[in-house]
Structure formats: structure tokens, C-alpha cells
């Protein structure tokens, strides 16, 4: 499981920051409508961030994270994955997300991400010329994948994603979906990649992360890889007081990554 429904990002709001937020419905190239949450920076900014949620899809944690990005001057849009199967309505903690997760496919996630990238590049999204993606768990893997989707990104950041296995294989042990993992997409990646992993994550072994870094290095993809020893999956959560230093370091790394590649 990734973040619980009532989780919040471990990032304090910036006092006095004025941002513009709204719920929107975006449209993918195949005509699918999907929910998104937009947070625009107070001052004009050419930098944008697509926020890619965990298996729950769009909920408060990611809306709050989008706002924290906007407070730093990064226009942000947090997206939902389930427009094709669950519609665009708001959902509560009882939402049965896994039945929708297994119906996703990297191609449709990529198409929805492209719509979000195009939104950020439009006047409504901030007219951004430098766009990044950041994701968590299922979204971490999805974020790395976007580096190979031809979106013209400046960087792809993923927290505790699995580099070689996709969600369909993880929830159905012993089966093979035939869907390529991030490590198999490295040859097509076109932007720097950041990998932020949890050392105590039971689902992702250090060997998986090491293999991913080796593949990125071999392909000449600029990368930054950090494993937080002792931190559990989903450590980037305000309730994890004992991991606040890891969370603060991860947030600082993300902002520095954006600043260095925008």
C-alpha cells in the first residue's frame, strides 16, 4: 500500500504564498476525460510539474503536493489515471482503486500525461517551457516511463517505483503481463532521471535499483539515484516523524534537480 487516504506531504506551506488552484477535467488524445487538480504559481513561471499519484489515483495528498510546488514557483497539475474506468468524480477512502489500477496501461497513462504536459504549456497552465514529472509508487514507475514517451520533458522524478516490474505483475504473482518495465524503456529515454528509493521497502530490492542505474549509465542518461536507508515504502508522509530528515532531503533534491535542469 502507498499513502493512506488521509496522508499529507511532509512539506510546510510557505506563509503568505498566494497561489491559484482549481479542479479541472483534461482530455486525452483518444477523447478520454480525466480529473486533474491545478495549482499555479503566484508569479509568472516557465516551469511546470506533472504530479503522478500512487495506486489510489488523485486524492488530497497530491493536490496538497501540487500546491507546495506552486508555492515554490512551479506550476503544477496532479492527474488521475482512472478516467476510462471510473470517470472524473471525486472519490472517498472507500474507493476500490486496485480494480482500476490493473486496467491501466503505460500507453494510456502516457497519453494522459501528454495531455497534462500540453495543459502546462498552454496559457491556462502557465505557458510553461520547462516541464517535469514526479510520481510515487505506481506513479514513480510511470514518471520514469514518461522520459521515454517523447513529451520533451526536462526531467522525470520517481519515488519508490519498481524499475523492472509493472503493477499487473506485482498484484498477480506468477503471471506475466508482457508489459515492459522502466528498465526496458531506458534506450528511449530523453531526459535526466531521478530515482528516490526507500531502503526498507519490502517490494523493491537494492539490486533492482542498482540494475536500473547501471542501465541508465550505459545508455548515457543523466541520473541521480538516492536510497534512504531504513526508510519504508511511502516514507514521504507527514505522519512519519522519524523519517522527516529523509523527507526534507528528498524535497531539497527535487527542487535542486528542477533548478539545475529547467
From the list 58, 157, 60, the residue with the least C-alpha distance to 100 is 58
* Domains contained in the chain, number: 1
From the list 47, 51, 27, 48, the residue with the least C-alpha distance to 37 is 51
E strand intervals along the chain: 20-27, 33-40, 47-52, 75-79, 130-136, 155-159, 193-198, 223-228
Read off the pLDDT of residues 155-173 as tens digits, 9 standing for 90 and up: 999 999 999 888 777 777 7
CATH code for position 203: 3.40.50.1820
The mean pLDDT value for 102-121 works out to: 96
Q: Is position 5 within any domain?
A: no
| Domain that residue 80 falls in | 20-261
Distances 204 to 108, 127, 159, 174, 177 between C-alpha atoms, Å? 25, 37, 11, 17, 19
| 1-15, 44-58, 123-137: least confidently modelled range | 1-15
Is residue 180's pLDDT more than 80? Answer: yes
Q: What residue has cell string 548515457? A: 220
Q: Is position 181 within any domain?
A: yes
The pLDDT, as a whole number, for residue 1 is 61
The pLDDT, as a whole number, for residue 169 is 75
Average pLDDT over the chain, rounded to whole?
94
Read off the pLDDT of residues 184-205 as tens digits, 9 standing for 90 and up: 999 999 999 999 999 999 989 9
Q: Is position 4 within any domain?
A: no
Q: Is position 101 within any domain?
A: yes
Q: Is position 83 within any domain?
A: yes
Distances 232 to 119, 137, 146, 157, 243 between C-alpha atoms, Å? 34, 12, 25, 18, 9
Q: Is position 13 within any domain?
A: no
Report the DSSP pairing between strands 20-27 and 33-40: antiparallel
Q: Is position 105 within any domain?
A: yes
User: Does the predicted TM-score (pTM) go above 0.85?
Assistant: yes
Q: Is position 54 within any domain?
A: yes
Amino acid at each position: 500500500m502507498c499513502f493512506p487516504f488521509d496522508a499529507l506531504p511532509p512539506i510546510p506551506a510557505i506563509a503568505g504564498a498566494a497561489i491559484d488552484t482549481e479542479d479541472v477535467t483534461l482530455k486525452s488524445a483518444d477523447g478520454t476525460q480525466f480529473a486533474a487538480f491545478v495549482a499555479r504559481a503566484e508569479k509568472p513561471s516557465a516551469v511546470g510539474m506533472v504530479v503522478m499519484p500512487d495506486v489510489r489515483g488523485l486524492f488530497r495528498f497530491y493536490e496538497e503536493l501540487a500546491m507546495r510546488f506552486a508555492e515554490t514557483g512551479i506550476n503544477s497539475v496532479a492527474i488521475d489515471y482512472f478516467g476510462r474506468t471510473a470517470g472524473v468524480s471525486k472519490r472517498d477512502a472507500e474507493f476500490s482503486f486496485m480494480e482500476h489500477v490493473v486496467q491501466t496501461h503505460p500507453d494510456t497513462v502516457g497519453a494522459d500525461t501528454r495531455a497534462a504536459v500540453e495543459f502546462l504549456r498552454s496559457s491556462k497552465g502557465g505557458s510553461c517551457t520547462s516541464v517535469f514529472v514526479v510520481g510515487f509508487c505506481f506513479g514513480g514507475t510511470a514518471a520514469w516511463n514518461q522520459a521515454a514517451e517523447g513529451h520533451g520533458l526536462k526531467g522525470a522524478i520517481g519515488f519508490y517505483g519498481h524499475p523492472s516490474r509493472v503493477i499487473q505483475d506485482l498484484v498477480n504473482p506468477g503471471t506475466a503481463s508482457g508489459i515492459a518495465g522502466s528498465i526496458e524503456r531506458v534506450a528511449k529515454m530523453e531526459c535526466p532521471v531521478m530515482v528516490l528509493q526507500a531502503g526498507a521497502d519490502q517490494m523493491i530490492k537494492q539490486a533492482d535499483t542498482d540494475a536500473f542505474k547501471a542501465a541508465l549509465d550505459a545508455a548515457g542518461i543523466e541520473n541521480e539515484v538516492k536510497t534512504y536507508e531504513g526508510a519504508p515504502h511511502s516514507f514521504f508522509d507527514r505522519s512519519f516523524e522519524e523519517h522527516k530528515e529523509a523527507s526534507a532531503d528528498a524535497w531539497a533534491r527535487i527542487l535542486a534537480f528542477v533548478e539545475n535542469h529547467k
